[in-house]
C-alpha cells in the first residue's frame, strides 16, 4: 500500500484503498478547498476536501474526456483522513498525476477556511 494511502473511518476495501462514508452525526460537511482539472478546455475532474466531525473527506468527480459534458460523471470516494495535512497530500498527489497526464489544474479555496499551502 502507498505511504499516502488514505486513512478511514471503516474497514479497508479489498483493493487497498480505504473508503468511508461521512459520520451520521457530522452534520453538513464544509468544503475547505477544491481542485479542478481540465484538458483542452473541458473539465475532466474535480477533487474537493471537506471537513467533518471526525476528520476530513476527499471526494472526486471524474468525467470521460470524450463526453464534452454529456453522460454521467463518476463519483469516487469519499476518502477519509484524520488530519488536514494527510488529505492535502492525497489531493496534491492526485493533482500532480493529472498534470503529468496533460491536464491543467486550478485551485480554489473557500473564504474563511484555513490556508493549506
pTM of the full structure: 0.67
Residue 112 pLDDT: 47
Query: Out of 6-15, 88-97, 105-114, which region has the weakest mean confidence (pLDDT)?
Result: 6-15
Q: Does residue 41 come out as left (phi exceeding 0), alpha (psi in the -120 to 50 range) or beta?
A: left
Boundaries of domain holding 76 = 24-109
Asked whether residue 47 is assigned to any structural domain, the reply reads: yes
Asked whether residue 84 is assigned to any structural domain, the reply reads: yes
Asked whether residue 9 is assigned to any structural domain, the reply reads: no
Asked whether residue 115 is assigned to any structural domain, the reply reads: no
DSSP 86-113: HHHHHHHHHHHHHHHTT-EEEEEE-TTS
**pLDDT 10s digits, 12-22:** 444 444 445 44
Asked whether residue 8 is assigned to any structural domain, the reply reads: no
Asked whether residue 92 is assigned to any structural domain, the reply reads: yes
Asked whether residue 88 is assigned to any structural domain, the reply reads: yes
The total of structural domains in the chain comes to: 1
**Cα atoms found within 13 Å of the Cα of residue 5, Cβ hemisphere only:** 11
Asked whether residue 28 is assigned to any structural domain, the reply reads: yes
**pLDDT 10s digits, 17-56:** 444 544 444 467 789 999 999 998 888 999 999 999 889 9
Amino acid at each position: 500500500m502507498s505511504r499516502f494511502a488514505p486513512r478511514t473511518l471503516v474497514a479497508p476495501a479489498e483493493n487497498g484503498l480505504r473508503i468511508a462514508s461521512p459520520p451520521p452525526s457530522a452534520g453538513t460537511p464544509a468544503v475547505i478547498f477544491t481542485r479542478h482539472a481540465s484538458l483542452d478546455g473541458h473539465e475532466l475532474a474535480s477533487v474537493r476536501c471537506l471537513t467533518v466531525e471526525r476528520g476530513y473527506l476527499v471526494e472526486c468527480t471524474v468525467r470521460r474526456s470524450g463526453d464534452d459534458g454529456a453522460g454521467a460523471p463518476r463519483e469516487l470516494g469519499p476518502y477519509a483522513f484524520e488530519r488536514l495535512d494527510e488529505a492535502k497530500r492525497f489531493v496534491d498527489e492526485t493533482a500532480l498525476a493529472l498534470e503529468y497526464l496533460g491536464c491543467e489544474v486550478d485551485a480554489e479555496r473557500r473564504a474563511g477556511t484555513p490556508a493549506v499551502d
